Amino acid sequence: MHPEMTVKNHRIPSIWYKQTSNLSSGRTLNPSMIVMHYTTGWNGEGSRNWLMGAAGGTSNEGSSAHVVIDRDGTAWQIAPFNRVAWHAGPSRYGDLESLNNHAIGLEFVNSGPLSPDGDGQWIDPYGHRRSDDELNAAGGFIKASHPRVGGLVYAWPNYTKVQLATGYAILKALADQYPISAIVSHEEIDTRGWKTDPGPAFPMESFRQLLGDRNPAPRVKSVTASRLNIRKGPGVGYARIDPPGALDTGTIVRVLSADDVWRLVEVNDGPLSGVRGWVHGAYLG
């Protein structure tokens, strides 16, 4: 439904724009990641105005984002992509902390989990009861448990097709413009263990696949562990690449790609030059 989106001067000219009041001043964002969120609500314009703070006519002085994507596919950009917005909170990803300084924040309009009322209906975050029929009319839902929410099985409203299509178009435009190396959920970077967005109904893998084999700008790092296992895939379940099995402290590598906390690296010099494999990102500095 959207024409091809492109980024010009840190904005997507084909979508609505008005700047939020809630931005860090005097600080440039060079985005290398994208954080996916839900708004915890059904009302897109209400959430957009809230995230715009005073510029949206609200009292919010503590949060913002770059783009809000409504359930009908409408997108509103509220911050230029080279400005630090306030969406990630206390956060960590691999060796990066305070991800507001590294990441673009996309907010998808969605209520988040509804709790069972014990009587066949669901209660949304505002205390409103919703029936299965109502949720189905609004795009359907999945049922899933989630330890961060509680011990029950919750209803998680689906994201709509047009909303996701807008999200994909925006993500492609961003990946064409910036060296985006990771797309993450707010949940996986939140260091307080509170956040659950964008939740199990969000097709995170479809977004990650859009990055495909794009080569982000290579980043040179050195190994900080005494022996850092190098593996055939992003996880301890993958066999080590043997030889060399592991990399010594100080080995210089280029980071080619990322998957969760794992980094695909290539040894940059020395006798192992050209060896390529996956290592845990916590041991690169």
197 part of the interface to Zn ion, by CB under 5 A: yes
Which of 186, 221, 263, 280 is the binder for Zn ion (CB under 5 A)? 186
How far apart (Å, rounded) are the C-alpha atoms in residues 17 and 234?
38
Least distance between Zn ion and beta carbon 125 (Å): 13
Least distance between Zn ion and beta carbon 188 (Å): 11
Closest CB to Zn ion among 83 and 276?
83
Instruction: Please list every residue from 68 through 127 that binds Zn ion, using CB under 5 A.
Output: none
Least distance between Zn ion and beta carbon 152 (Å): 22
37 part of the interface to Zn ion, by CB under 5 A: yes
Nearest to 43 by CA among 104, 125, 117: 125
Least distance between Zn ion and beta carbon 186 (Å): 3
Stretch that binds Zn ion, among 32-40, 176-184, 206-214, 251-259 (CB under 5 A): 32-40
C-alpha distances in Å from residue 276, one per residue of 226, 253, 258? 18, 9, 13
How far apart (Å, rounded) are the C-alpha atoms in residues 274 and 250?
16
Least distance between Zn ion and beta carbon 239 (Å): 36
Q: Are strands 83-85 and 92-93 parallel, antiparallel or unpaired?
A: unpaired
Least distance between Zn ion and beta carbon 244 (Å): 40
Closest CB to Zn ion among 37 and 263?
37
Closest CB to Zn ion among 197 and 231?
197
Give me the 227-266 binding string for Zn ion, x by CB under 5 A, dash otherwise. ----------------------------------------
Stretch that binds Zn ion, among 73-81, 161-169, 190-198, 267-275 (CB under 5 A): 190-198
Stretch that binds Zn ion, among 41-49, 93-101, 193-201, 252-260 (CB under 5 A): 193-201
Q: Given the rule CB under 5 A, which residues bind Zn ion?
A: 37, 186, 197
